[in-house]
A and B are shown apart, each in its own frame.
Chain A
Amino acid sequence: MEAILAIAIGVVASTGVWLMLRGRTFQVVIGLALLSYAVNLFIFATGRLSVDREPVLLGPLGATLQHYDDPLPQALVLTAIVIGFAMTALLLVVTMALRGLAGNDHVDGIHAPPGPRDDVPPAPPRHLPGDGT
């Protein structure tokens, strides 16, 4: 179980990092979202993996806590999910604003990096099919 989870977290995180380093805003957004998924899984795993254990202490306690799971990482991950979700939503809004202002979806607001930035003429607004404009 540990190996599967570790591999899964690793794959998601590395995909996220790779996408984050790409030049187009949508890829960056998806990359950051994937990275935050990996982080959330990782936080979840720091409470140690277990099956069939209650996270919340209910009723009379046993002699030890070995039949219970650590509830704290679950609370932490919930906070992290909410914050990450809100931030991704905000980033999407900024991405769309940048798309509208720059006329393309490169993170630097330019199409391709052919040379010194000052030499690149401002890109004309591009109208995609179904843009509604």
Chain B
Amino acid sequence: MSGPLQGLVSPDHLVVAPILLPMLAAAAMLLMRADRFRLQAVVAVFSTGLGLLLSVLLLLQVNAGGPDGTPAVYLAGNWKAPFGISLVADRLSAFMLVLAHGVALGALVFSTARWQRVGVHFHPLFQLQVMGLAGAFLTGDLFNLFVFFEILLAASYGLLLHGSGGARVQAGMHYIALNLAASSLFLIGSALVYGSTGTLNMADLAQRIPNLLPGDAALARTGAALLAVTFLTKAAAWPLNFWLVRTYSAATPPSAALFAVMTKVGLYTLLRLGTLCFPGADGNLALVAMGLATIAFGVIGLLASQRLAYLAGYALMVSSGTVLSAIGLEKPGLTGAALYYLASSTLGASAFLMLTDIVERWRNGGAVTAGFQQSREAPFLGRDLKPLQDLGLDEEQEQPTGKTVPTATALVGLAFAMCALVLAGLPPLSGFTAKVALLTSLLNPQGMGGGVTDVSINAGVLAHPNTPGVTGWIFAVLLVGTGFACLLGFSRAGIRNFWAAQGRGVPRLRVVECLPIGVLLAGCLALTVWGGPVLAYFEDTARALQKPRVYIQAVMQTRAVPSAAGAPGGAP
């Protein structure tokens, strides 16, 4: 009894558990009848909740390994690296796992209120998407990364089309075609990398790439550029991001909330491969430029949006652009702050995407889909760009009477204000902490109270590595300007949806819908309250990323488990 079971629950398997758990849950759900939503929901919440618990355990385990962190390595086929596929959980992977599972659990609970019923197989698809996300964060193999990308994409196609309808099918058509083309680029890129280096294991790649012959090195760099284009498409970087807003606003709200994590997969892989396999690559300036352009595009879109879901999409784009620029500027402190910003903005955007659903339904008098979703009209302006009835601020208003604001309305408004604060980066919530951290490490890398001394100013060394440089200054200006523009966009939406709303009842709130939004926003609050330790974790993460040696050694030195004599299925 003790032998095989003991092996089954050994802590080594913790690394592979976040992938296996949703896979088994999805398989089990496929055996149930498609209309047994309640049972499926129970299994799904259990699986994702357990996944969140395991991810937190993994994070604690990795964090216990000191500031460098000792990545936990799992040899999936029991072949020593570089043969076979290795799964690696380092500080970055563990953090992304926790973030993805947290958002997924929130979206899942939210979906049980109504959205799981608008089509079949919502829960299995959702679990498969979680599996793809977990796999993409954990894998240490380039081709395996492709496979997990396809798993999460295939599931996301299904989730996007969940509920059907013209808008979703059309957005889905564009989204699938675009991602198929991007996957082709991924394959070409990884084939070029394999053809020039002879390996697909990321740690092994990192060892071999510096020692390549010039001809092979050029091929490998070309491959890296093609891979980067794929990841930039996923991360919604500027010329490759026109799909995002339409797709996310067409998807059902819980799916869209999960998709908010999907753009982060692109950022994660860029950070991972950029620091591990192609350090000091030529593309950093391009990365910064694309990041800045993404921020600018997102801000313009944000100011032009009338629909709440569009607002959320553009806010996500701004967040992608910010992280992208910070990664490209390549300073350890900045990368750490960018990771903090990523956590905060993802939680805020997911909460906002779910809140959007409640507000829209409130405005449409309980109808799931608004009238404007069938027609092509904007919600507040008519075709001649005049405000629709009852929504213009200039119209004659009712005389204010001493009516109290109902609690439900106040709660929804409070949640909206919190989302706006997080996404715009205003105090007191985590968005502000993130922006302060970004600006501090950009302008003053030595940290508060140190750094800019009279000596460095007197020396007049403008090109000193500690000064932000031209791109850094543009980034700083955009970062501050973005906050202002976000505030404008969000307050306009808030005025229209909450203050100027007349003749509207009280929103009907359900606990299962409010709880996830509240918990995600509480996560932002927790990020603020425990800002110090969290930021320290991210700074250690960024420093560990700059020292790929530890990662490489951990992967290459992990030994295969010796097969027990006579055990069935032992390694050859």
Which A residues are within 8 Å of any B CB, using their own CB?
20, 25, 28, 32, 35-36, 39, 42-43, 45-48, 72-73, 76, 79-80, 83-84, 86-88, 90-91, 94-95, 97-98, 101-102, 107-109, 117-118
A33 to B180, CA, bound (A): 9
B188 located at the interface, meaning its Cβ lies under 8 Å from any Cβ of chain A in the complex: yes
CA distance A113 to B271 in the complex (A): 40
**With A28-B177, A35-B181, A36-B180 as contacts: A97 and B169 at CB distance below 8 Å:** yes
Q: Which residues of B contact A73 (CB under 8 A)?
A: 191, 194
Q: Which residue of A lies closest to B194 (CB)?
A: A46
Q: In the assembled complex, how far is the CB of residue A83 from the closest CB belonging to chain B, in whole angstroms?
A: 5
Contacts of A109 in B (CB 8 A): 166, 170
- Identify which of A25, A43, A76, A87 contacts B173 (C-beta below 8 A): A25
Q: Is the interface of B mostly helix, strand, loop or mixed?
A: helix
Q: Given A91-B176, A94-B176, A98-B169, A76 and B194 touching (CB < 8 A)?
A: yes
Taken together as a complex, chains A and B put the C-alpha atoms of A86 and B169 apart, in Å, by 18
Q: Are A94 and B195 in contact (CB under 8 A)?
A: no
- B150 touching A83 by the CB < 8 A rule? yes
Excluding A46-B191, A84-B183, A91-B177, 20 further A-B contacts by CB distance (< 8 Å) are: A35-B180, A42-B187, A43-B187, A43-B191, A46-B192, A46-B195, A72-B194, A72-B200, A73-B191, A83-B150, A87-B154, A87-B183, A88-B180, A91-B180, A94-B161, A101-B165, A101-B166, A102-B170, A107-B177, A118-B376
Q: Which of B154-209 contact A (CB under 8 A)?
A: 154, 157, 161, 164-166, 169-170, 172-174, 176-177, 180-181, 183-184, 187-188, 191-192, 194-195, 200
Taking a contact as CB atoms closer than 8 A, the residue among A20, A94, A108, A118 that contacts B181 in the complex is: A20
Does A94 contact B147, Cβ atoms closer than 8 Å? no
CB neighbours (8 Å) of B184 from chain A are 32, 35-36, 39
The distance in angstroms between the C-alpha atoms of A101 and B191, with both chains bound, is: 39
Asked if A107 contacts B173 (CB within 8 A), the reply is yes
| Chain A interface main SS type | helix
Interface contact B176-A87, CB-CB below 8 Å: yes
Considering only CB atoms, which chain B residue lies closest to A40 in the complex?
Answer: B187
Residue of B nearest to A120 (CB): B376
Question: Which residues of B line the A interface, CB within 8 A?
Answer: 143, 147, 150, 154, 157, 161, 164-166, 169-170, 172-174, 176-177, 180-181, 183-184, 187-188, 191-192, 194-195, 200, 376-377, 383
Q: Which residues of B have CB within 8 Å of A35?
A: 180-181, 184
Partner of A79, one of B147, B169, B194: B147
Q: Could you tell me if A98 and B177 are in contact, using CB atoms closer than 8 angstroms?
A: no
- B150 cross-chain contacts in A, Cβ below 8 A: 83, 87
Docked complex Cα distance between A36 and B177 (Å) = 12
Q: Given the complex of chains A and B, what is the CA–CA distance between A117 and B246 in angstroms?
A: 15
Give A41 Cβ to nearest chain B Cβ, in Å: 10
A91 to B179, CA, bound (A): 11
Count, A-B residue pairs, CB within 8 A = 86
| Residues of chain B contacted by A97 (CB below 8 angstroms) | 164, 169
In the bound complex, residues from chain A placing their C-beta under 8 Å from that of B170 are 98, 101-102, 108-109
Among A39, A86, A88, A118, contact of B188 (Cβ-Cβ < 8 Å): A39
Select the residue from B170, B191, B192, B377 with max chain A CB neighbours within 10 A: B191
Residues of A close to B200: CB separation below 8 A: 72
Compute how far the CA of A69 lies from the CA of B192 in the bound complex, rounded to whole angstroms.
Answer: 17
List 21 A-B residue pairs with CB atoms under 8 Å apart, sorted by A's residue number.
A32-B177, A35-B180, A35-B184, A36-B180, A39-B187, A39-B188, A42-B191, A43-B191, A46-B194, A47-B195, A79-B147, A90-B154, A90-B157, A94-B157, A94-B169, A101-B165, A101-B169, A101-B170, A102-B170, A109-B170, A118-B377
A90-B154, A97-B169 known; A118 vs B191 contact (CB < 8 Å): no
In the complex, the chain A residue whose C-beta lies closest to that of B196 is A46
Identity of the chain A residue whose Cβ is nearest the Cβ of B383 in the assembled complex:
A118
Residues of B within 8 A of A117 (CB): 376
From B147, B154, B174, B188, A107 is in contact (CB under 8 Å) with B174
- Complex Cα–Cα for A33 and B278 (A): 31
Residues of B within 8 A of A91 (CB): 173, 176-177, 180
Q: How far is the CA of A86 from the CA of B176 in the complex (A)?
A: 12
Most chain B beta carbons < 10 A, residue from A25, A48, A79: A79
Q: Which residues of A contact B176 (CB under 8 A)?
A: 87, 90-91, 94
In the bound complex, residues from chain A placing their C-beta under 8 Å from that of B192 are: 46
A98 near B173 (CB under 8 angstroms)?
A: yes
Q: Which residues of A contact B194 (CB under 8 A)?
A: 46, 72-73, 76
Q: Which residue of A lies closest to B151 (CB)?
A: A83
CA distance A15 to B200 in the complex (A): 29
Task: Give Cα A86–Cα B183 distance, bound, in whole angstroms.
Answer: 13
Question: Please, which residues of chain A bring their CB within 8 A of the CB of B172?
Answer: 94
- Select one of B173, B183, B187, B383 contacting A95, CB under 8 A: B173
Contact A83 B376 (CB under 8 A): no
Tell which of B143, B154, B183 touches A76, judged by Cβ atoms closer than 8 Å.
Answer: B143
**Distance from A104 Cβ to chain B, minimum over Cβ atoms (Å):** 12
Contact between A32 and B187, CB atoms less than 8 A apart: no
Chain B residues with CB below 8 A from A83, complex form:
147, 150, 183
CB closest residue in chain B, given A101: B166
A114 to chain B minimum Cβ distance, whole angstroms, is 15
- Kindly report which residue of chain A lies nearest to residue B192, judged by CB atoms: A46
The distance in angstroms between the C-alpha atoms of A88 and B161, with both chains bound, is 16
Q: Complex formed: what's the CA distance from A61 to B165 in Å?
A: 60
| Bound CA–CA A56/B170 (angstroms) | 45
Is the Cβ of A20 less than 8 Å from the Cβ of B154? no
CB distance from B287 to the nearest CB of A (A): 25
Q: Which residues on the B side are within 8 Å of A46 (C-beta)?
A: 191-192, 194-195
Q: How far is the CB of B5 from chain A (nearest CB, A)?
A: 33
- Minimal Cβ-Cβ distance residue in A for B149: A83
Q: Which 3 A-B pairs have the closest CB atoms?
A: A46-B195, A43-B191, A46-B191
Which B residues are in CB contact (< 8 Å) with A98? Answer: 169-170, 173
Q: Which residues of A contact B147 (CB under 8 A)?
A: 79, 83
Distance in angstroms from B316 CB to nearest chain A CB is 23
